[in-house]
Chains A and B, each alone.
Chain A
Amino acid sequence: MSEKKFSKKHEWVSLDGDVATVGITKHATEMLGDIVFVEVPDAGKAVEKEGQAAVVESTKAASDVYSPISGEITEGNKAIADDPGSVNTDPEGASWFFKLKIKDKGEYDSLMSKDEYDKFCKENPS
């Protein structure tokens, strides 16, 4: 598994060969609050970089989850759809959102490193 990379929309990506795993960051869950609903994409669905891929809802509001990378979904994490609260407890581990077969590793390389992402969050508090 490669190191995690991060997007400005608060998703993380790790890479294993040409299969990427995508989830939302701890910072994102802190902004969202208690997560009560998750919708993950089905296998076979094509997603574009920065295109809408999943949905996450907190008690406050619904938000889209974007794919930071283009490709074809190989698996949505049904476990988080069954237990949305688990995204709050382990957002960057077991509670990933979906896996996809990527087309262009360059898209992964262009994402932020952990340090860059932390700096980005600090400079863009919301």
Chain B
Amino acid sequence: MEVQKTALYNYHKNLGAKFVPFAGYEMPIQYKDGIVKEHISTRTHAGFFDVSHMGQFFLEGDESLIESLEKIIPADLKNLKINHSKYSFLLNNEGGIIDDLIITRTEKGFCIILNAACKENDIKQISQFLKKNHKHLLNNDLSLIALQGPKSVEILEKLIPGVANLKFMTGSNFEYEGENLYVTRSGYTGEDGFEISISNTKVEKLIDYLISNEVKPIGLGARDTLRLEAGLCLYGHDLNEKINPVEANLKWAIAKKRKEVGGFNGWEKIKNLLANGSEKIRVGIKPDGKVIARENTKIFSSDNNEIGFVTSGTFGPSVNAPVAMGYVKSEFSKIGTSIQLEVRGKKYGGKISELPFYKKSYVK
């Protein structure tokens, strides 16, 4: 398969981006400043992320569309208001997570933001449940820009008046340069911010504006450290098809009504897990010293029994310490439990920690 590029590829190049192949795309891993500076400037000012590789999947249909989607998505879509968004998943028959996603109710149906690496399979999986009168489109003519950080609102409000009124996990249509643009107050960094769906032909102009307001370009490297500090999962690492939402410690993302009534893929299994708990569960982990416990690091109990593994681990620039997430046997998941992390054949102490590592500041 040919490597794909987002509409901003040349723009990134001119900004000094270092590219890496990611989910079939050439994406910036970092720019000239490097990961730590990019991370800090997002937390203290604002940064923009080109997330146009993610799928923007639009669905249109009558009431039966809700019924179809609720078979594979455990959110309460029936009661989801127009312009409101929810974090949810696509589930397989075993209750495993096919992908995690953000679904927004639109005037005509729904928009689902899908992970780049999963989007083709996701659409196949969703399509199984769609009826003939349901229309769907993966819109590749749109870019997606995340603007994140405490100054985001002030900066974007000057350009697009009205965005400051949006509450976290809601969106609206705005006009920019004579074109429609959809903005949601959301993101994946633990900061206040926005995600802007904008046509490929106008996106450079938007970025020009952001850069003139000292918004820094942020690559995938800092995106990873930011989301990990915020305790957020990365699909393909912290989540996959063999992990269900209960194990992933994401049962809060299954709507209350859906927990009671079910009717979605894997419901039998999830019902049982909700009642009895799971054998393993996702936890936050803080190594005691400076050692970084990266993905696949084995986790041991204080009496040397293997109890789990790390799924994401890095140095958290805002926490100023290493941070990690992983799965442990549920009996070891209590906050403060002492564990050992095997790094390069040597065991280092650590503790089960609260998530997020970095306190969020969403506007509710």
Could you tell me which A residues sit within 8 Å of B by CB distance?
A: 33-34, 36-37, 39, 55, 57-60, 62, 81, 84
Complex contact B291–A37 (CB within 8 A)? yes
Please determine whether A37 and B315 come into contact, CB atoms closer than 8 angstroms: yes
User: Considering the chains assembled together, what is the distance between the CA atoms of A37 and B294 in angstroms?
Assistant: 12
Q: Is the CB of B344 within 8 A of A33?
A: no
State whether the Cβ of B34 lies closer than 8 Å to any Cβ in chain A.
Answer: yes
Least Cβ–Cβ distance between B97 and chain A, in angstroms: 26
Q: Any chain A CB within 8 A of the CB of B243?
A: no
Contact of A60 among B37, B221, B322 (CB under 8 A): B221
Chain A residues lying within 8 Å of B35, measured Cβ to Cβ, are 33-34, 58-60
B29 CB within 8 Å of chain A: yes
Given A34-B36, A36-B315, do A60 and B29 touch, yes or no (CB 8 Å)?
yes
Number of chain B interface residues as a range: 10 to 19
Q: Which chain B residue lies CB-closest to A38?
A: B290
Given contacts A34-B36, A36-B315, 15 further A-B contacts (CB under 8 A): A33-B35, A33-B221, A34-B34, A34-B37, A36-B322, A37-B291, A37-B292, A37-B315, A55-B344, A57-B315, A59-B225, A59-B315, A59-B317, A62-B292, A81-B290
In the bound complex, what is the Cα–Cα distance between A55 and B292 (angstroms)?
A: 11
A33 to B32, CA, bound (A): 10
Cα A42 to Cα B93 in complex, Å, equals 53
The residue of chain A having its C-beta at the shortest distance from the C-beta of B29 within the complex is A60
Chain A nearest CB from B223 CB (Å) reads 12
What is the CB-to-nearest-CB distance from B321 to chain A, in angstroms, rounded to a whole number?
10
Interface membership of B244, Cβ < 8 A: no
B294 touches A62 (CB 8 A): yes
**Least Cβ distance of B90 to chain A in Å?**
30
Contacts of A37 in B (CB 8 A): 290-292, 315, 322
Whether a CB of chain A sits under 8 angstroms from the CB of B30 is yes
Please pick, from B221, B290, B291, the residue contacting A59 in the complex, using a CB distance under 8 A. B221
Determine how close the nearest CB of chain A comes to the CB of B224; give it in whole angstroms.
Answer: 8
